[in-house]
Amino acid sequence: MSERSGASRRGSLRRRLDASALRWQARLDTPWVDRTLPWLIAGLLTIVLLLISLAVQRQLDGGPTLATWTQAAWNMEEGRGPVSSLAGGDMVWDQWAFTSLPLLYLGRFVPTEVVLATAEALCLGLAVVPLWRMAREVARLRLGVTVGLILAYCAAPVLYSANLSGWSPVVTAVPAIAWGAWFGQRRRWVAYGLCMVVALLSRADVSLLLVAFGILGVTSGDRRSGGATAAVGALWALAFLVLVDPPVPEAPMTASEAVLARGEAPLAVLTDPVRLVTDLVIQPNVGALVVLVGPLLFLPLVVPRFALPALPPIWLGLVGEEAVRQAVGPSPGAVQLPSVLLLAVVPMVLAASVALARIGQPSVSRIRVDHRIVAAMVLATLAIFVQVAPTSPFNEPWSWGSQDDADGARLEASELLDEVDPHGGVTASPQLTPLVAERRDVQEVSAGPPRGWEPTTGAVLLDTTAVGDDGVPLWDRRDREEVLASLAARSYDLEYRAAGIFLVLRRPE
């Protein structure tokens, strides 16, 4: 008797909770909420990403990515085009990152790092609105499950890894793909075409995503638009391979050279079929796939046809990233998710919305999804974010933006260099390259003690505070003394020394 009574009470409580949830969703399920809430979420995500990026820049952690793009912007202003001696090439043409050109031009009027941080945060935030509309108006999902899907997008660790990297050209393709999917569903073909053009001009490897996107359109009944999208994407990829002929990354390669190589590698690895198979299933790549799909409970795999557009950036992106990683070798700092996976986030969220619509129960106007599935998706999203995202609470992002003694020494050394040699070439550690990027000849030395190194520039700026992945310092006192002695034997004089930062200048002949 007591068991039946307990079961009855539990059933009654569940029914009351379900009824309460339905009442609240009915109150919030209004056109006004659909018009305002996604824009509010997009604005909040943009602000959070921008603040994080600016805080990282303030504590001088912009790294080689920011340095290469800053140097490209400065060279553009000087009339030499968007080239970077750090990266070893043209930052726009060598990867067909044409949408980055206007941002580099704005670097004439606003600091380049601020322009890039703002553009990146804004692009990632703008994708929220079409994802919301696709879930609500195409998949006909209720408000609660839509919020869960948007949370999975906003908390995707790859968003924050890319945001901390400084700039990735594929960022401009993220809102273009999301809005293009929405306009395609609404049969607004002019707007759809413009979105696809923006995506295509973001970086060359986006073209293969458009091929898959077009194939999805053809199989969904939109043969004309889908066929045109696939054809344009294929022709663009072929043109890039013929005209640019991107090389597969090879060692040795500096961290700054890897910035440009990451834009070339996804299409370059097409010329190495063996690598496409062997490098895909290594442990880091499998882990990245779990991080990408895990917050969505692997639901996109239930509808593989709709997840097809995510395949090119996942496969070629991860294989290309592994090629770059092998060329660069061990580097200080935690391993970050490759920013090319940004291109897979939108297709995965869209595929998950289709999967949820199929497993849900139709009601009068919406698809009802079991609240336990939504709760599990939210918990998985939060768990993976806390464990993997670089902005996890475990990393205390609220404390970012401060500067320590080493940061003060970095600034003093770079300012002293600007005073004594404002235009000469400089060789710098990866941590210091953003501070000296606005020069024609900037070279990068390894983060650890250089071996067999012959500097060719008149100034050398070294940061000996770097630590490895295990937290162990890469430099010790003996390493510092040996490097300084080697530079002194090559006619360099020590001009500045503080907190592990060294500036040496070549003696005039």
The overall average pLDDT reported for the chain is 89
Are both 383 and 441 inside the same structural domain?
no
Residues 389 and 428 placed together within one structural domain of the fold: no
Q: What are 427's strand-pairing partners? A: 443, 460
What local confidence, expressed as pLDDT, does residue 19 receive?
A: 60
Amino acid at 500: G
Query: Which pLDDT tens digit goes with each residue over 442-452?
Result: 999 988 888 77
Q: Are residues 121 and 237 in the same domain?
A: yes
Same domain, 333 and 437: no
Domain contains 2: no
Confidence of residue 149 (pLDDT cuts 50, 70, 90): very high
With b meaning 16 or more CB within 10 Å and e meaning fewer, what string describes 98-125? Answer: bbbeebbebbeeeebbebbbbbbbbbbb
State whether 102 and 135 are in the same domain. Answer: yes
Query: Mean pLDDT over residues 268-290, rounded?
Result: 84
Domain termination residue (choose one: 365, 399, 433): 399
Residue 423 has pLDDT above 90, yes or no: no
Tell me the residue range of the domain where 189 lies. 30-399
The answer to whether residues 395 and 432 belong to one domain is no
Q: How far apart are CA 228 and CA 200, in angstroms?
A: 13
* pLDDT, position 28: 63
In a domain, 116, yes or no: yes
285 inside domain? yes
331 within some domain: yes
Identify the weakest region by mean pLDDT among 9-13, 70-74, 266-270, 371-375.
9-13
416 and 391 housed in the same domain: no
Mean pLDDT score, 225-243: 95
Q: Where is average pLDDT lowest: 75-84, 275-284, 369-378?
A: 275-284
Domain boundary among 368, 399, 430: 399
Whether residue 423 lies inside any domain: the answer is yes
Q: Does residue 27 surpass a pLDDT of 90?
A: no
pLDDT given for residue 453 in this prediction? 78
Which of 381, 399, 417 terminates a domain? The answer is: 399
pLDDT one-digit tens code per residue, 441-500: 999 998 888 877 788 899 999 999 988 776 788 898 999 999 999 999 889 999 999 989
Residues 412 and 349 in one domain: no
Q: How far apart are CA 101 and CA 415, in angstroms?
A: 29
The phi-psi region of residue 63 (left if phi > 0; otherwise alpha if psi is between -120 and 50; otherwise beta) is: left
pLDDT at residue 120 above 70? yes
| Interval 137-161 mean pLDDT | 93
Three-class secondary structure assignment of 361-406:
EECCCCEECCHHHHHHHHHHHHHHHHHHCCCCHHHCHHHCCCCCHH
Helix (H) or strand (E) holding 51: helix 31-58
Q: Is residue 191 very low, low, confident or very high in pLDDT (cuts 50, 70, 90)? A: very high
Q: In this structure, are 347 and 229 located in the same domain? A: yes
In a domain, 25, yes or no: no
**Same structural domain, 379 and 438:** no
315 belongs to a structural domain: yes
Residue 387 has pLDDT above 60, yes or no: yes
The count of domains in the chain is: 2
Question: d(Cα 347, Cα 490) in Å, to the nearest integer?
Answer: 55
Strand, helix or coil at 481? Answer: helix
Same domain flag for 71 and 165: yes
Tens digit of pLDDT for each residue in 193-221? 999 999 999 999 999 999 999 999 999 88
Residue 150 included in any domain: yes
Percentage of the chain lying above the pLDDT 90 cut:
61
d(CA 75, CA 67): 12
Nearest one of 341, 385, 392 to 156, comparing CA atoms:
385
Indicate if 218 and 338 belong to the same structural domain: yes
